[in-house]
């Protein structure tokens, strides 16, 4: 029997986790290999510069280190359970500790990326509203004339400068998600409301055939979910009862 297709939605219930999810998405987008075309290069650089802007507005090293430390303390509590897998606990603690160690030099790598002469020459243009055109970016046009292999080499170099932060973030978000099993709830007339212990991220699994999406509001200890339909480009409140699955990623 084939598995029913579903969509997983995520909603951050704290501002720093909102930034974490944005960074995670950006890290994934800059992994797409370039092919020498303007159509791929412009979104790549736009995402890269967006990541650098987030780094400037958010003390990622301090916040990540603190949250990784919180997860280490949680995992250490697991080790006291008589039936826990001691090897798995040791592996998790090693991964979290390794991620924290790598954060020690990560800020210097990002600083070098910000000071890259080629990137700096274009970044201001990308910050302006509207679509970027090559007549504004002759240096990019010259770069695009290089071989795809050369472009990919540059891309990998820039990505490497962010790799330690990406790894630490991956360890943190991965553990938060793994700790949060999905539970089925019934949204009465498309509505669900709940109070909870401090949450970092709310995850929702909804069957794709139901063709509804969630609109979430709330904060770390209280949230509401309103299901919406999307018909002919218009959104309307879903008015029927529907089973959805929730996973609550707790802060601690």
Under DSSP, is residue 1 helix (H, G, I), strand (E, B) or coil?
coil
| DSSP structural state of residue 225 | E
> What token pair was written down for 223?
């949230």
Q: Which long-range contacts (CB under 8 A, 24 or more apart) does 226-233 make?
A: 226/190, 226/191, 227/187, 227/190, 227/191, 228/190
CA distances from 244 to 76, 185, 193, 236, 237 (A): 32, 6, 13, 18, 16
Look at residue 232 in the predicted model and tell me its pLDDT: 66
Predicted confidence pLDDT, tens digits, the chain (252 residues): 457 799 999 999 999 999 999 999 999 999 988 888 888 899 999 999 999 999 999 999 999 999 999 999 988 888 778 777 888 888 999 999 999 999 988 989 999 999 999 999 999 888 777 667 778 889 999 999 999 889 999 999 999 999 999 999 999 999 999 999 999 999 999 999 999 899 999 999 999 999 899 999 998 899 999 999 987 667 899 999 999 999 999 988
0.95 surpassed by pTM? no
* pLDDT (0 to 100) of residue 214: 97
The string of pLDDT tens digits covering residues 82-123 is 777 888 888 999 999 999 999 988 989 999 999 999 999 999
Q: What is the pLDDT of residue 8?
A: 97
CA distance to 115, 155, 156, 191, 203, per residue, from 188 (Å): 53, 48, 49, 5, 18
**Greatest Cα-to-Cα distance within the chain, rounded to the nearest angstrom:** 66
Instruction: Tell me what pLDDT residue 78 has.
Output: 80
């Amino acid at each position: 029997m084939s598995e029913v297709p579903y969509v997983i939605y995520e909603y951050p219930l704290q501002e720093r986790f909102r930034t974490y999810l944005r960074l995670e998405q950006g890290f994934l987008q800059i992994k797409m290999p370039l092919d020498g075309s303007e159509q791929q290069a412009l979104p790549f650089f736009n995402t890269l510069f967006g990541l650098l802007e987030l780094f400037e507005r958010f003390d990622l090293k301090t916040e990540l280190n603190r949250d990784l430390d919180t997860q280490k303390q949680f995992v250490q509590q697991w080790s006291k359970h008589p039936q826990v897998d001691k090897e798995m606990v040791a592996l998790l603690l090693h991964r979290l500790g390794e991620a924290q160690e790598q954060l020690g030099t990560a800020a210097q790598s990002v600083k070098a990326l910000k000071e890259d002469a080629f990137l700096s020459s274009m970044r201001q243009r990308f910050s302006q509203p509207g679509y970027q055109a090559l007549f504004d970016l002759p240096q990019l046009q010259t770069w695009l004339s290089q071989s795809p292999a050369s472009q990919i080499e540059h891309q990998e170099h820039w990505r490497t400068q962010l790799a330690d932060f990406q790894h630490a973030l991956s360890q943190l978000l991965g553990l938060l998600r793994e700790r949060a099993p999905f539970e089925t709830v019934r949204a009465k007339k498309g509505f669900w409301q709940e109070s909870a212990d401090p949450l970092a991220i709310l995850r929702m699994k909804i069957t794709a055939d139901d063709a509804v999406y969630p609109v979430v509001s709330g904060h770390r200890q209280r949230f509401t979910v309103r299901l919406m339909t999307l018909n002919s480009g218009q959104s309307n409140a879903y008015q029927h009862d529907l089973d959805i699955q929730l996973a609550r990623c707790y802060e601690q």
